[in-house]
């Protein structure tokens, strides 16, 4: 009996179930790291050493830490509401149906009973040579994708509100006093309300002359 | 040696757990975690079929998984950046409260 596989699979599945069911989001992130580490061990067991180490580097080292950082950056104060959505029964039933429809044909398939071949030569040198010759175009494409994703993530997550508010708010304050409130009305009412820490009183005064139009 | 069936069944279970989490949780970060689990289950399938294939020296499964890991990293980075942007706008990361396209 392959005891090592069963131990690794049990740890990985337990980590996955915990990552999906615990209430504390930080615990979820750490259980996810455990799941990724277990998967990396299974890759190593399948004699895919490079992929296993890349899994540890990328998933345990980067993705799990990124998820924990995001959890810490987004304050989740609403602990009194249920962590699952209202239609969770439907989602669970769908998942169970998908699981059954995957497992049942697997059990009947005769081609899954085969034994593995010789231990393949998957050295890093061979992988590097293939990446640089046969797979060089996908390699370049994924370099482009990663660069674009990096720039896009920084642009999306960048906080650009403070300098915009200062640059837009302060110069319009005297102009609003002279009766011209066109530029200050371009700031939406929601933004003006919930960004009070970055606001001087001048912006509120700038928004006030266009009050009847902006409070609708 | 472990039969191939065990790896594939384990991968199916992992996929189903990720799918259940992505369908039932309220928090956008947990939904992303579920998607990551599903991607990892697919990667495990690639590796297992590569290891048990007739000519494993072609390294096709390994190559596919390497590129898949790269795509998954990009997806996680952009997805979490979107979660942070949504949180900054709505002051919540619960998906039920994010129901306005125009903001």
State how many domains chain A has. 2
CB A137 within 8 A of CB A166: no
Structural domain containing residue A17: 1-76
Question: Is the predicted pLDDT of residue B63 greater than 90, yes or no?
Answer: yes
Q: Is position B58 within any domain?
A: yes
> Of A43, A76, A109, which closes a domain?
A76
Which of these three, A44, A76, A108, is where a domain ends?
Answer: A76
Q: Could you write out the three-class secondary structure of chain A?
A: CCHHHHHHHHHHHHHHHHHHHCCCHHHHHHHHHHHHHHHHHHHHHCCCHHHHHHHHHHHHHHHHHHHHHHHHHCCCCCCCCCCECCCHHHHHHHHHHHHHHHHHHHHHCHHHHCCCCCCCCCCHHHHHHHHHCCCHHHHHHHHHHHHHHHHHHHHHHCCCHHHHHHHHHHHHHHHHHCCCCCCHHHCCHHHHHHCHHHCCHHHHHHHHHHHHHHCC
Do the chains contact at A83 and B25, CB–CB below 8 Å?
A: yes
B28 in a structural domain: yes
Q: Is residue B33 part of a domain?
A: yes
Q: Write out chain B residues lying below 8 Å of A146, CB-based.
A: 70, 73-74
A16 and B53 within 8 Å at the Cβ level: the answer is: no
- The last residue of one of the domains, among A55, A76, A97, is A76
Overall number of domains in chain B = 1
User: What is the pLDDT, as a whole number, of residue A205?
Assistant: 45
- A85 contact residues in B (CB cutoff 8 A): 24-26, 95-96
Quickly count helices (H) and strands (E) in chain B: 3, 0
pLDDT under 50: residue ranges of chain A: 166-216
Please report whether residue B102 resides in a domain. Answer: no
Residue B101 lies in a domain: no
Residue A120: inside a domain: no
Residue B49 domain flag: yes
Structure tokens at B70: 């790269």
In this structure, chain B runs to a length of 103
Residues of A in contact with B39 (CB under 8 A): none
- The answer to whether the CB of B86 falls within 8 A of the CB of A82 is no
CATH number of the domain that residue B34 is part of: 1.10.287.3510
Residue A62 falls within a domain, yes or no? yes
The H or E element containing residue B83 is helix B60-90
B56 assigned to some structural domain? yes
Question: What sign does the dihedral B53-B18-A155-A72 (CA atoms) show?
Answer: negative
In this model, does residue B59 exceed pLDDT 60? yes
ipTM of the complex: 0.93
Is A153 within the bounds of a domain?
A: no
Average pLDDT, chain A: 78
Domain of residue B91, residue span: 4-95
CB-based contact B32 A159, cutoff 8 Å: no
Per-residue DSSP letter, B52: T
Residue B77: pLDDT band (50, 70, 90) is: very high
A67 lies in some domain? yes
């Amino acid at each position: 009996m392959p005891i090592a596989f069963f131990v690794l699979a049990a740890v990985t599945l337990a980590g996955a179930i915990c990552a999906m069911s615990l209430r504390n989001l930080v615990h979820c992130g750490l259980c996810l790291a455990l799941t990724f580490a277990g998967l990396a061990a299974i890759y190593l067991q399948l004699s895919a050493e490079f992929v296993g180490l890349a899994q540890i580097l990328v998933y345990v080292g980067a993705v799990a830490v990124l998820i924990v950082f995001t959890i810490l950056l987004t304050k989740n104060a609403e602990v009194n509401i249920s962590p699952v959505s209202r239609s969770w029964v439907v989602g669970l039933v769908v998942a169970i149906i998908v699981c059954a429809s995957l497992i049942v044909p697997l059990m009947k398939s005769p081609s899954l009973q085969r034994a593995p071949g010789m231990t393949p030569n998957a050295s890093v040198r061979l992988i590097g040579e293939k990446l640089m010759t046969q797979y060089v175009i996908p390699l370049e494409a994924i370099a482009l994708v990663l660069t674009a994703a990096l720039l896009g993530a920084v642009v999306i997550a960048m906080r650009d509100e403070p300098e915009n508010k200062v640059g837009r708010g302060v110069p319009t304050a005297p102009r609003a006093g002279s009766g011209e409130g066109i530029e200050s009305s371009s700031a939406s009412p929601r933004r003006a309300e919930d960004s009070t820490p970055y606001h001087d009183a001048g912006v509120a005064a700038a928004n006030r002359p266009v009050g009847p139009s902006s409070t609708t | 040696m472990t039969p191939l069936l065990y790896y594939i069944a384990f991968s199916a279970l992992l996929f189903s757990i990720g799918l259940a989490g992505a369908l039932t949780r309220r928090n956008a970060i947990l939904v992303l975690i579920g998607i990551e689990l599903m991607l990892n289950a697919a990667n495990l399938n690639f590796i297992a079929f590569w290891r048990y294939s007739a000519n494993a020296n072609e390294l096709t499964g390994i190559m596919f998984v390497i590129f898949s890991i790269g795509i998954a990293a990009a997806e996680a980075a952009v997805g979490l950046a979107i979660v942070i942007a949504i949180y900054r706008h709505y002051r919540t990361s619960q998906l039920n409260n994010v129901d306005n396209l125009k903001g």
